[in-house]
Amino acid sequence: MTITLAQLNTKATITWCPGCGNFSILTAFKRALVELQIPREKVVVITGIGCHGKFGDYVNVNSFHTIHGRVLPIATGIKLANKELIVVGFSGDGDAYAIGLSHIPHAARRNIDVKYVVHNNMIFGLTTGQVTPTTPKGVKTRSTPYGNPEEPLNPLALALVSGATFVARGFAGDVAHLTWLFKEAIKHKGFAFIDVLQPCYTFYNTYEYFRRRVYKLEDVGHDITDFEEALKKAYEWNDKIPIGIFYKVRKPTFEETLPQLKGEPLALRDISDVNIEKAYVFLR
């Protein structure tokens, strides 16, 4: 049975603002699933709280709309319970880099086979336009009416130094490129991190800004196996902003290092009559 784009649509009415970068991310993700022909039952999408959080309602696969900032731990639990699922998390930049930041380095160094997409609009969308950790310095938002006094965080550098085995940046203004990134991330075995430049049409419209600056790493012969080069590229943020795969390496995933996970997924094991008597030796 083939998987079609139509099957991935849901009955839910989309409530994003017209022109929102989230539409491109949704389209790219659905296209990636169709192009890879992944059965819907095998995919789980986890979303945080924010405009991006509605994502799960708009794609007809398993989904978990969690609380603010907890996409990665939920995704980790799901993958451990059933390693055969394709587990993809979607967070806003507030969800990922503010309230949820404590989880990123650990998911990365654990190398759990989870894909993590950050809708980085550099603003709190759903709460109507406050500053986030990636808002550039000096930008006026509702909570920084005199300009943001803080330096922004560098998400790609963070992912790289934390040990992520797949690090990429996408741009919501280029759906074809984003589709390709999603496919590569899903095919990668291990933690895949994609920061997506996602203009917020209503509170922080950056389409023109990014359109003028982004270029593709594939076009300049970037070596995705070179960690130091990747880190250099992660710091490139001026009149040229790179998108594409910065770094990719194959390392054992968290699941692969756990002998308990060999064989059937945990969720399908027989638990009807566990023999605990073999633990009595510790209690005598």
Partner 1 sequence: MGSIYFTYLIGGEAGMGVAASGRMLAKTFTRGGYYVFGMIDYPSLIRGGHNFYHATVSDERIWSLHYNVDLIIALNKDTLDRHLSKLKKKGSIIVDSDIKYDKSALERQGARVFEIPLTGIVKELGALTVVRNSVALGASMALIDFDLEVLLSVIRKELGKRKEIAEINVEAAKRGYSFVVEQYGKGVQCTIRPRSDNGHLVITGNEAVALGGLRAGMKTYFAYPMTPASPVLHFLANVQFDFDVVVVQPENEIAVINMAIGAWYAGSRSMVATSGGGFALMTEAIGQAAMTEIPVVVVLAQRSGPSTGMPTYTAQGDLRFALHASQGEFPRFVIAPGDAEEAFYLTVRAFNLAEKFQVPVIILTDKHLAESHLTVPAFDLKKAKVERGKIIVGKYEGSEEYRRYKITDDGISPMAFPGTLNAIVKVNSSEHNEYGFATADAKNAEIMAKKRLRKLELMQEEVENCEESVKVYGDERSPIAIIGWGSTKGAILEALKILEAKGVNVKFVQVVFLSPFPTRRLQTILKDVRELLLVENNVTGQLGSLLREHLLRAPDEYLLKFNGRPFYPHEVVSKVLEVVK
For 161, the token pair is 């130094």
For 30, the token pair is 């659905």
Considering only residues 198 through 227, tell me which ones interact with ligand SF4, judged by CB under 6 A: 200-203
DSSP state letters, 29-87:
HHHHHHHHT--GGGEEEEE-SSGGGGGGGGSSSEEEE-STT-HHHHHHHHHHH-TTSEE
Considering only residues 65 through 94, tell me which ones interact with partner 1, judged by CB under 8 A: 65-67, 70, 72-82, 84-85
Q: Which is nearer to ligand SF4, 91 or 253 (CB)?
A: 91
Nearest to 47 by CA among 116, 134, 126: 116
Q: Which does 42 bind (CB under 5 to 8 A by kind): ligand SF4, partner 1, ligand TPP, none?
A: partner 1
**Strand, coil or helix: 260:** helix
- Tell me which of 51, 71, 88, 167 binds ligand SF4, using CB under 6 A: 51
52 touches ligand TPP (CB under 6 A): yes
- Tell me which of 27, 82, 127, 205 binds ligand TPP, using CB under 6 A: 127
> Do the Cβ atoms of 241 and 213 come closer than 8 Å?
yes
CB of 206 to ligand SF4, least distance (A): 11
CA dist., res. 125 & res. 112, Å (int): 29
Scored b (16 or more CB within 10 A) or e, 67-84 reads ebbbbbbbbbebbbebbe
> Using CB under 8 A as the criterion, what x/- string covers residues 98-137 for binding partner 1?
----xx--x-------------------------------
124 touches ligand SF4 (CB under 6 A): no
Binding-site residue total for ligand TPP (CB under 6 A)?
Answer: 17
* Binding region for ligand SF4 (CB under 6 A): 16-17, 20, 22, 51, 121, 125, 200-203
